Chains A and B, each alone.
Chain A
Amino acid sequence: DIQMTQSPSSLSASVGDRVTITCRARQNINRNLNWYQQKPGKAPKLLIYAASSLQNGVPARFSGSGSGTDFTLTINSLQPEDFATYSCQQSYSTPWTFGQGTKVEIK
């Protein structure tokens, strides 16, 4: 199984801040990396696929980068609705695996 590790596990930020979340794969996964946003009691929502492609309808303040083993999700100008948990997921090989999640909280 491909282990995915996110950092940090949580962070506090203010509205308007730029936030960066990192995801590292145990082995090379090329660009087979997706990012999801999840709010309490709700299903995850796809934000970014193939490391940097924005899913339809997702605001442009979200962006992704990276390839191989190291990936980044950036949120520019954090908005009140962005406070949530973000998870990465590899789709290089089954079993699909997720990072443990990064909780973005209000400072």
Chain B
Amino acid sequence: EVQLVESGGGLIKTGGSLRLSCAASGFTFTYAWVSWVRQAPGKGLEWVGRIRSKTDGGTTDYAAPVKGRFTVSRDESKNTVYLQMNSLKTEDTAVYYCSTEGFNYVWYFDFWGQGSPVTVSS
């Protein structure tokens, strides 16, 4: 059974840093592309960034609002993807989900974690 379990969320002051973890199991992590998607309170879903599989270069892409502040990385030995969030702003307050990206003619988010809430307060 595929499982993604996020951790590391919490309350943080503006300008602070936080690192979220996404522990994966139930599939071959080496081949997985993993994205982070967030949802601000009462709002829609917003893609944050992703990391390609190690076999596809392990490179990253980011949404404009977080580029230069957030970093996605992965540790193959721990089957875990990380989201390092620096210079946090109040508008980064959201539930953060990690999700695997599947492909079958098109890309899609097929498996999701339960979400990790992040609150940035001034």
Please tell me the number of chain A residues within 8 Å of chain B, measured between CB atoms: 27
B61 within 8 A of A: yes
B11 within 8 A of A: no
Greatest chain B CB density within 10 A among A53, A98, A101 is at: A98
B11-37 contacts to A (CB < 8 Å): 35, 37
B109–A89 touching, CB < 8 Å: yes
Contacts of A49 in B (CB 8 A): 102, 104-106, 108
**Considering only CB atoms, which chain A residue lies closest to B4 in the complex?**
A43
A91–B107 touching, CB < 8 Å: yes
Query: Closest CB of chain B to A4's CB: distance in Å?
Result: 9
Contacts of B108 in A (CB 8 A): 34, 46, 49-50, 89, 91
Grouping DSSP codes into helix (H, G, I), strand (E, B) and loop, the A interface class, with mixed when no group exceeds half, is loop
Query: Closest CB of chain A to B73's CB: distance in Å?
Result: 18
Grouping DSSP codes into helix (H, G, I), strand (E, B) and loop, the B interface class, with mixed when no group exceeds half, is strand
Please tell me the number of chain B residues within 8 Å of chain A, measured between CB atoms: 24
CB contact between B47 and one of A36, A96, A99 (< 8 Å): that residue = A96
A31 within 8 A of B: yes
A50–B109 touching, CB < 8 Å: no
> Digit string of B65-107 for contact with A (CB within 8 Å is 1, else 0)?
0000000000000000000000000000000010100101111
A15-72 contacts to B (CB < 8 Å): 31-34, 36, 38, 42-46, 49-50, 53, 55
**Contact flag A100-B115 (CB < 8 Å), given A50-B105, A55-B110:** no
Query: Closest CB of chain B to A39's CB: distance in Å?
Result: 12
17 example contacts (A-B, Cβ-Cβ < 8 A) are as follows A32-B106, A33-B106, A34-B106, A43-B113, A43-B115, A44-B45, A44-B97, A49-B105, A49-B106, A50-B106, A53-B105, A89-B45, A91-B107, A94-B61, A95-B63, A97-B47, A98-B46
